[in-house]
Structure 1
């Protein structure tokens, strides 16, 4: 009897690991993650992304541009300098020989597109106001957004450079005018007297906090959804096969229920560890490392205090919802009715997740998030958001944890009574009156 809890945990873990469905599902999701992470690189290999797009222009001697500061040849020259200065030029300008007439030049440019020499071409026309000339980009693509945006940015830079040179500014003045303004953001704490985890975080540290909040929210939601359904379905299946009658007479209901919950937690934790390992391996591939370096992602910037709180809320949130799933699964006799029975619990978890994802991440100090951080069904999500993206006083954090622990104790006690009585009630789903009468007869 003393080893009943460990026996239930071991049986649950072994039973799941030996199941083909679990292994196949884990492998399929790992493959999907691998493809998803490397999809941009795969697409770039087949689409030619990363290579300079060839854009043509007519190398005509008859300049249509009438501007004191700009001529067609000058604009083309500055554009060519702009793109050659890039580490990986987005666009390559290709001159097309002048045929002597406007119609002939148009046909020559179209023929260059048809022959695959260029992807499109630009034409210049005079601006009636005498300002920067009108530029038109023509291509066969219906929505060539990336090329047109790149050209627009380059032309804006060319215009700025031409105007500055025409103004007669010195080199030092132009460099001073064009130098970017840097703005650093630092998180400060105003609750230091009342206890706080805010320490004046830099922009990089704030970015890692945001990433950690995202990961914890998704992992908690996935853990609740996956393990909750598995716990409820396992209990219902054991009940319908009459295995539960033997189990419940050998192990106390508390040990049986929490053994099942703990076993499923270990299974889900292993599954998520596999997914995290797959993500880490793919992220360390050479073509993904350069992408990560652009975002300045460093694991050393993770706040260890935030990580500890996130793990604590992850565990408490998991066990709260798991006890509820176990209780519901014990009163259902057929697996066909399980989906409808667990729907209210699923909606509770979904509500907490959506409140934080679509309201908390953009405004972690809103009244909705503050109130939700003290509601035990939402606090595992909401308080993690507040800890990662704002600076709540420590007394609020520990009050939320205390409320959550009391709720888990109450839910565990109630779920154990429902579990004990529900697993031995077969046939139709018991009514609340029948369930309450049976629970009164049983003492934990």
Structure 2
């Protein structure tokens, strides 16, 4: 056990103290702080004066209605000169654009929007929508139609969503809309975290083993400690590295949000829509995240032991990458139809269940035995991979030369029997 802790502490400390870890973490932390204050930073470079749109028109009533309706990041300014003079003022930077409002043959407003480029689309769309509403009201008055009738026509249809009661006259026990929204947000977070953790830290495990084989340190390590102890020491060590990085990132994000409580509505969890998520969903999130990591980490350690050059790691890790990408894509499909047969079957396949079964748990009320069965299958698969992986690991770490084929599994098993 003492040898396990030696390998574990060495793996963890060497990774945490590495320049790549420090620089990567620092950059991500800086981006979190930067993005949280992006509005303040943009405001530092913006002028205090609001952008102005020059309006050339003789339609006093239309202009007054348009001015009273417009509430945006720009202001309307009635221009007393000609259209050409207003366009010259735009070229001089006094205005961002010119709006010319005319009266059509039917006595309704029509307009032309002049600008130097297409960067002021927001102002153009806002003014177009407001003028459209003014035109509808004027056309309604001219035709003698009651404005209340027009309002009732455009009023959204009354549409409710109610659950069908069971035979006992009670509504079935399903998640509320608020719970679904919160759970959907949590599912997104866990899916991306697990995807990134497997890609980043799985490759880190394989690369670490390949580096040790390159330096021939592996021959000394494998003779002084059991393969299972050494393999899991690296898996737990790099797992703790990932946990350290995530705690730093999430802690910084939490601190930034707490500093902006006055700008947010509600607390931390309410801001992200997680206040209505049940405790069991959070527990399942932790369980499936950890099991998913250990499954793919065991595979990564096993494959990493087969290569002796760091250049070959990515090629042999390709199947693992394809598996996690497939699991991620199935989960993305399952977000819109979690009850489909394809998603249900995938939730019991160990390589996909960490993502897909958690997706079903978060969005549906499924029986506990289904979740338990998926967890048991996942744990059994991890145990089997750990046993097989330990044998391949013991023989694989003694293999040198070019090893980029899965056929090297047989050679690794033969070497492990000789030890």
Settle same-fold status: TM greater than 0.5. yes
CA shift digits 1:370-419 (9 cap, x unpaired): 23212211111112222223444433322222221111111111111111
Q: C-alpha displacement at 1:364, in angstroms? A: 2.8
Q: 1:232 Cα shift?
A: 0.9
> What CA distance in whole angstroms lies between the structure 2 residues aligned with 1:18 and 1:296?
35
The Cα of 1:285 is off from its aligned counterpart by 4.9
Deviates more, 1:181-190 or 1:375-384: 181-190
In structure 2, relative to structure 1, the CA distance for the partners of 1:75 and 1:24 (3 Å cut) is: same
Distance 1:414 1:282 in 2: 45
Contact 2:186 2:274 in 1 (8 A): no
- The one of 63, 84, 90 equivalent to 2:73 is 90
Structure 1: how far apart are the matches of 2:317 and 2:262?
A: 40
Structure 2 unaligned spans of 5+: none
Question: 1:266 deviation in Å?
Answer: 0.7
CA separation in 1, counterparts of 2:23 and 2:188?
27
Match of 1:57 in 2: 55
TM-score, normalized by length of structure 1? 0.81
Q: How does 1:159-198 map to 2 (within 5 A)?
A: 159-162=135-138, 167=144, 169=146
Matched positions, count: 409
Matched with 2:357 is: 383
Counterparts of 1:336 and 1:296, CA distance in 2: 44
Residue 354 of structure 1 corresponds to which residue in structure 2? 329
Q: What is the aligned partner in structure 2 of residue 79 from structure 1?
A: 66
Distance 1:334 1:177 in 2: 71
- Distance change in 2, residues 1:37/1:348 (3 Å): farther
C-alpha displacement of 1:219: 0.7
Cα distance in 2 for residues equivalent to 1:131 and 1:440: 95
Cα offset for 1:179?
6.9
Instruction: Give distance in 1, aligned partners of 2:225 and 2:118.
Output: 69
Comparing 236-245 with 259-268, which one deviates more in the overlay? 236-245
1:335 aligns with 2:322: no
- RMSD of the TM alignment (CA)? 3.3
Structure 1 residues 435 and 59: alpha-carbon distance in aligned structure 2, compared to 1, 3 A threshold: closer
C-alpha distance after superposition, 1:301-339 (max 9, x if no partner): 233221111111111110000000000111111212112
Q: Secondary structure at the match of 1:123?
A: strand
| Equivalent residue for 1:426, pick from 400, 411, 415 | 400
423-432 or 337-346, larger mean C-alpha shift = 423-432
Indicate how the Cα distance of structure 1 residues 309 and 289 shifts in structure 2: closer, same or farther if over 3 A, else same.
same
Q: 2:121 aligns with which of 145, 148, 152?
A: 145
Structure-2 change in CA distance of 1:182 and 1:438 (3 Å): farther
2:29 is aligned to 30
Which residue number corresponds to residue 381 of structure 2? 407
- Aligned partner of 1:258 among 232, 254, 259: 232
What are the residue-to-residue correspondences of 1:257-276 with 2, within 5 Å?
257-276=231-250
How far, CA to CA, are the matches of 1:187 and 1:257 in structure 2?
Answer: 51
Note the residue ranges of structure 1 that are not aligned, 5 or more in a row.
61-71, 99-104
Q: CA deviation at 1:8?
A: 2.4
CA distance in 2: counterparts of 1:314 and 1:186, whole angstroms: 34
